Each structure stands twice: as structure tokens, then as C-alpha cells.
Amino acid sequence: MSPQPENQPASSSLTQGEFTREERATLLKLAHESILSALEHREISLDPPSPHFSEPRGAFTTIYYQGQLHGCVGYVLAVISLYRTVAETARAAAFEDTRFPPVTLAEARALEVSLSVLSPLRAVKAEEVEIGIHGLVVSYSGRRGLLLPQVPVEHGWDRVTFIEQTCQKAGLPRDAWENGATLEAFTAEVFGDRDVK
């Protein structure tokens, strides 16, 4: 599991177009079911219902309760199928994000979910980072920090501030990107419950 990125509800301006409305609804339903099934001590099928969901993809699941962030966990690297990634990160966001108490059954029924499906990482130079398009990973000396594409947009950051904040997320000095840290960018298709209603 990767570090949790600070993140707010999905912004439709950041969505791409890879997934249909029906596919988005299926993945969001899976996230909700994964959380509820853990609380109700029952199993759910993790066999992807579509070949599109069988592809290995990185993704983050972010959950909100009463409009407030209540958990965010994800896989940066594409190591398992997207379908399983969504199920696992949804449970982890609900029960393993140590910034928040575990979700209760009553809360689970009222959660709002946002998914960010990631493209593969690629190395970039600082001047190639595009606000509103790229998420960013900064790595140096065993430390790694990640922020999703929507974060700088929501905070009104410019490119340099975005890079500096990602350095800080990694526990590095703000100027680590100028002193040997590696920058990797990705794009994300971001969608939530509000987008499929």
C-alpha cells in the first residue's frame, strides 16, 4: 500500500474517458460492497466481471463521511487486477488508515466513495509537470511521497508548490527535487458516487 495522499472529493474536470458510466458504477459498488462485507463478515466475489477490470492497475480509494475525509489508501504500482485493487484499497481506506478510526457499520452505509485509477508512472523533469493533469511521486533515499492530480487544483498551487508539497509528503526537504530526488508523474481518471447518480 502506498502512502495516503491528501485528497478531496472527485473533480469531474480531472476525469479522462477510459471507463463508461456503467463501469464506473460497477467499481464504486464494489468499493462499497467490500467495506460492508468486511463489517458483516461475509465474502464477495473478486472475479472481474469484465476483461477491462482484469488488467493490472494502480488505484486509490478515498472515502468520506458526512462530507469529511475518512480514509484514503491506494496502490501506486499495477500489481494486481483493477477489480481486486479497488476491493482491497476500499477495505484498507475504511479500516487501516491510521489517521482515522475504523469505519462502523452505521457509517459504512452513509459513506461517499471516490476512485482514482492511475496510469503507469513515468519519470519526468520538473518543467514537464502539468497542474490538473499529473499526479506526482517524489522518491529519494528510501522515502516516497505521492499527491493525486486533483490536489494542486483544489489548493490553487502552482507547479513548484505542488512539487515542494509532494517532497514534504515524502518527509523530505521542500527543495529535495532540486537536490537529487526522482520525480515520476501519472494521470488519473477520478470519479465518485456523485458522478454516477
Retrieve residue 125's grid coordinates.
523533469
What CA–CA distance (Å, rounded) separates 186 from 124?
A: 10
**Residue ranges per structural domain of the chain:** 12-119+188-195, 122-186
Q: What is the pLDDT of residue 10?
A: 41
pLDDT at 9 over 70: no
pLDDT tens track for 114-126: 999 999 899 999 9
The domain over range 12-119+188-195 is classified in CATH as 3.30.700.20? yes
Per the DSSP assignment, residues forming a β-bridge with 114 are 62, 192
What CA–CA distance (Å, rounded) separates 73 from 51?
A: 24
Nearest C-alpha neighbor of 5 from the set 81, 118, 95, 123:
118
Task: Please answer whether residues 156 and 114 qualify as being in contact, where contact means their C-beta atoms are separated by less than 8 angstroms.
Answer: no
CATH code, 122-186:
3.30.1490.150
pLDDT tens track for 12-68: 434 447 899 999 999 999 999 999 999 999 999 999 999 999 999 999 999 999 999
Retrieve residue 85's grid coordinates.
485493487
What CA–CA distance (Å, rounded) separates 32 from 65?
A: 13
